[in-house]
């Protein structure tokens, strides 16, 4: 008799489990479609591309060549920015401290400081950081590397468990690059760094907020290129001859995601467009999920704000 009374409950839970599993299968099918599209872009590119994308709500990931090591280009400026704010928080200096722009420090590539007069202007460390991120100013970056110390940047990365992200040279040092002293990372660790910034796990919540505020400054880059206006993005692109990347957080309402796309042996324009396409595919996917119930029906976003 007891087993007969339990039978309806057992059947209820069986059918409930089957329904949940079926809905998971629907989501899995959508995920597979996205992954297939991204793999198509990455594999048809004339070069090598690695992709690491993470849903910061559920932990769902898309990983392609995520453990390969790539040159970072200017994306390495994110760890430099973190170290600058970390040391300021420790009281080693103030972000308002001034540094002279001098001829001996000026280098080419991106940025405006290379055109300044010799010892005619001084800027705060904060202003140098703004130029480093918003304009990818290489002179500003090298001044900040001198300020924080290359070894300290790598030590902080080690403390964060990011041993594959390495700062080995200053900007526009092709001799160092030719020796193999390249700034490098894997897409997986780059994605992890962006996730840690999102979750407030880098140094302190205050440092996280300061770093993200600068990474949200508008800039010319691939991740936002095809996205709708008004989408909040914290990112830093990087490029060298033959290598292009972009690391970021895309703050899709109710469904933010971290993304790192890196490439090498490649033409710059082609790679930049591929990153933009991958970013758009990811955005469309997460924007769709942000308004969907577990059954795939769309409802107003505010009704799902507290739901994963």
Per-residue pLDDT in tens (0 to 9) along the chain, 308 residues: 444 554 444 444 444 333 333 458 888 899 999 999 999 999 999 999 999 999 999 999 999 999 999 999 999 999 999 999 999 999 999 999 999 999 999 999 999 999 999 999 999 999 999 999 999 999 999 999 999 999 999 999 999 999 999 999 999 887 877 887 899 999 999 999 999 999 999 999 999 999 999 999 999 999 999 999 999 999 999 999 999 999 999 999 989 999 999 999 997 689 999 999 999 999 999 999 987 677 777 666 666 654 43
In angstroms, the CA 299 to CA 186 distance is 38
In angstroms, the CA 113 to CA 50 distance is 33
Crossing angle of helices 138-148/125-134, nearest 10°?
130
What sign for the dihedral angle of Cα 75, 77, 79, 85? negative
| CATH superfamily entry for domain 38-304 | DD-peptidase/beta-lactamase superfamily (3.40.710.10)
């Amino acid at each position: 008799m007891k087993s007969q009374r339990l039978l309806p409950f057992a059947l209820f839970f069986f059918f409930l489990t089957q329904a949940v599993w079926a809905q998971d299968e629907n989501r899995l099918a959508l995920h597979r479609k996205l992954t297939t599209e991204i793999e198509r872009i990455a594999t048809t590119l004339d070069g090598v591309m690695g992709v690491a994308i993470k849903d910061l709500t559920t932990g769902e990931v898309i990983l392609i060549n995520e453990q390969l090591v790539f040159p970072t280009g200017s994306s390495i400026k994110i760890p430099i920015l973190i170290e600058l704010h970390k040391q300021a928080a420790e009281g080693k200096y103030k972000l308002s401290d001034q540094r002279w722009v001098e001829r001996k420090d000026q280098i080419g590539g991106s940025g405006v400081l290379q055109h300044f007069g010799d010892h005619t202007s001084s800027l705060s460390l904060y202003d140098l950081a703004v130029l480093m991120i918003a304009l990818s100013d290489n002179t500003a970056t090298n001044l900040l590397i001198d300020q924080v110390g290359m070894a300290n940047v790598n030590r902080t990365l080690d403390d964060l468990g990011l041993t594959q992200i390495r700062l080995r040279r200053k900007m526009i040092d092709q001799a160092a690059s030719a020796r193999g002293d390249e700034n490098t990372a894997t897409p997986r660790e780059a994605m992890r760094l962006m996730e840690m910034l999102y979750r407030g796990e880098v140094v302190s919540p205050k440092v996280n907020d300061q770093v993200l505020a600068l990474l949200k400054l508008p800039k010319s880059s691939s991740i936002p290129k095809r996205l709708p206006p008004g989408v909040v993005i914290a990112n830093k692109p990087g490029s060298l001859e033959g290598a292009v990347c972009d690391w970021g957080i895309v703050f899709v309402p109710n469904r933010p995601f971290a993304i790192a796309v890196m490439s090498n042996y490649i033409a710059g324009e082609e790679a930049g467009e591929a990153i933009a396409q991958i970013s758009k595919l990811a955005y469309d996917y997460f924007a769709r999920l942000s308004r969907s119930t577990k059954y795939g029906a769309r409802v107003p976003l505010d009704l799902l704000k507290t739901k994963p």
